[in-house]
Chain A
Amino acid sequence: MSKSVVIRNARIVDPATDRDSPGAILVEKGKIAGITNGAPQGIPDGAEHYDAGGMVVAPGLIDMRVFTGEPGHEYRETLQSAAAAAAAGGVTSFVLMPDSTPVIDDGALVDFLLRRAGATASVNILPAAAITRGLRGEEITEFGLLKEAGAVALTDGRHSIQSAALLRSAFSYAANFDLPVIHHVAEQSLVGEGVMNEGTLATVSGLKGIPIEAETIPLARDLQLAALTGVRYHAAQISTGAAVELIAAAKRRNRSISAGISINNLALNENDVAPYRTFYKLSPPLRSEDDRQAVIEGLKSGAIDTIHSAHDPQDSEVKRQPFAEASDGAVGLETLLAAALRLHHSGDVPLLTLLRAMTSRPAEILGLKSGRLAIGAPADIIIVDVDFPWVVKERELRSRSRNTAFEGARMQGAVMHTFVAGKSVFSHSATREGAAA
């Protein structure tokens, strides 16, 4: 059985209760057993003691969008290597996208993933199941059986379902089983051969652009169908100010709607792409600075609920290609928190708002007990030095793939300790050196 843990001298930041004040946390049997304002009371013998030294102690992050290579492409990433990256990034739970080989569209595969994750992974892996068989966008999967097997949500991952009739049916049937639907919105006929944000940069580079309307047109459709069917709908990732407006308007009438955004679209813009830097080739594409500012406002206003890493390991074979021929995606589990903290340090977004989007909001959307510091909640906890300076170096990443969009970036803020169910799964080398000294 796991040892008791005491974290003293903490700055407890719990978005679920808007708490940001000093205190201590006691963990017993993998759950939070006590939260005190002053010194902790009634500590069991043999408990592990951590002195947070005034650093932020927060719920472990819940990442709503992670791809790995297992099963099918283990050379890119395994559940184990993704979990190691997650632990180092302070992510204690992540939603695993069904885009693997085979596609996770069957209860037996969900069961396989949960067993595999339990045996190899140090963080909680939450499988999402495909909405349609083989992610082909044609026939819906067995939502009820998938839920019973342990799927936390339905999604077609990187794929976007084009048929409104099929979406209506999927939304209705998902509402029937009270399963959230996470949908990537992209109108394929407008995306066409587009590979980056449409506009001057694309034109000067001779690259085909992806217009904003490729996102807003399917989003408007989805929001109407969500209202019609009553489904718990989560727009997987939006990237534009126009989409923020659509979401905000729909939320005034429908409380079952939520929206996510990739940290890449909050931290980077289309200028990072030039010239032909394929590690910045992402889906949705990096947009203009105006759009980036608009989505930051959307995050502050609550139109955007969650921030995810969009962790998508790709090997150099498919990334080091001419821009239009390279695969989309970047790894991000290890840089999610640090990149998000840029918005805190720049004064754009309060720390509680940022952490809420990576803890309590994802937990509410997915119906999880974690994501908060409450007595009885799983002891998924991180200790964060929000000022720790470091530089991202791809060779130091724990992911099997090194396709980071933050190579060489100067970061401020790092995870010092990560606990999953009260068990330490990561300690920063700075703290280990400190302990040795």
Chain B
Amino acid sequence: MATSSPASVTPAQAASRPPFRHRHLLGISQLNQYEIVDLLDRAEAMIPISRQERKILPTLAGKTQINLFFENSTRTQSSFEIAGKRLGAQVTNMSVKTSSVAKGETLIDTAATLNAMRPDVIIVRHGASGAVELLSQKVGCSVINAGDGAHEHPTQALLDALTIRQHKGYLAGLTVAICGDIANSRVARSNLLLLGAMQVRTRVVAPRTLIPRGIEALTSEVYTDMRKGLEGADVVMMLRLQHERASGRMIPSIREYYHFYGLDAEKLSYAKPDAIVMHPGPMNRGVEIDPAIADGPRSVINEQVEMGVAVRMAVLDALLADREAAA
């Protein structure tokens, strides 16, 4: 395991780095390729901290971080919580159960209330596209989008890119196939934006019912035949199918979906021999992916989780510590 000292990473490198110019991280669409590389470099430098005995780099000591999740998410919420704590921030989790339409408080009310508690950063997940951006306009602190509707999930795309880079050594020129429910996936959109900005060749693979009109704006390669879509791919990125919603309308059955679009050894054999398999989780084993693949040697799914903490530490550090240094 890498045991490089964090002290050799942060102050020295941070000094040579231009400060991060954004106040919020709302989407990959706001970043250029240099900023993406910068965030990935920062995240890479954070990896050793989580692997050492004392997992602390207190650049955010005395800062308050609020995790505001309007949708349930064990994985992303704990990843942000751990990232904040490893940087020394005070982290509060607020799960807001939205009871359909009849919720008394509007999003803007909630934003005003939290803002009055003077947090330094709010991490938001919301079911409606654009909701995080709306909230960011109403608060005086930094906001990180932890997923808004079917729009963006920027830290997921960053952690995916970091995972790919760790395995392949580079991004430009690789071929990445993103497979499954493209229509409803914010992970797909953020990944297509990020990989496109980094000159990665992207493909989407799905039945026509799960490919939204106008996806050509985000990728030029659309496949409905998974074997063709995986041919020569360096990375196979599977998406979670919301099968409770899709069944009977977008797809006839899980059986048929798995037959044509589930990732098994036979379909994976069309990808490059050293292709890696990714999934943002939580997985539906036997729906979009064969358990033997998910748990097999090509799978980097658990590494994605580890890179998630590093990426979120890097984003928090870039948004909060840099701003303080610049101030």
Residues of A in contact with B (beta carbons under 8 Å apart)? 198-209, 275-276, 317, 320-325
Contact = CB atoms under 8 A, between A and B. Distances in A.
Nearest to A192: B249
B108 A204 contact: no
A317 B128 CA distance: 17
A202 B148 CA distance: 14
16 contacts: A199-B214, A200-B214, A200-B217, A202-B212, A203-B213, A206-B130, A206-B148, A206-B150, A207-B129, A208-B150, A275-B133, A276-B129, A321-B134, A322-B126, A324-B128, A324-B130
Contacts of B108: 320-321
A200 B216 contact: yes
A289 to B, nearest CB: 14
Given A323-B128, A323-B129, A204 B217 contact: yes
Contacts, number: 72
Given A205-B151, A207-B150, A275-B133, 12 more contacts: A198-B213, A199-B213, A200-B216, A203-B217, A205-B130, A206-B130, A207-B149, A317-B106, A320-B108, A322-B129, A322-B130, A322-B134
B107 interface: yes
B186 to A, nearest CB: 6
A324 B129 contact: yes
B152 interface: yes
Contacts of B212: 202-203, 209
A204 B218 contact: yes
Given A320-B108, A321-B107, A324-B149, A204 B214 contact: yes
Interface string B211-229: 0111111100000000000
Interface in B101-130: 106-108, 126, 128-130
B106 A321 contact: yes
Interface string B9-43: 00000000000000000000000000000000000
A-B pairs, 7 with minimum CB distance: A206-B151, A200-B214, A276-B130, A322-B128, A206-B150, A206-B129, A322-B131
Contacts of A321: 106-108, 134
Contact of A203 (B130, B134, B214): B214
B302 to A, nearest CB: 28
Interface string B176-215: 0000000000100100000000000000000000001111
B189 A206 contact: yes
A369 B76 CA distance: 66
A211 to B, nearest CB: 8
Contacts of B148: 206
A328 to B, nearest CB: 15
Contacts of B189: 204, 206
A202 B189 CA distance: 12
Contacts of A325: 128
Contacts of A207: 129-130, 149-151
B176 to A, nearest CB: 19
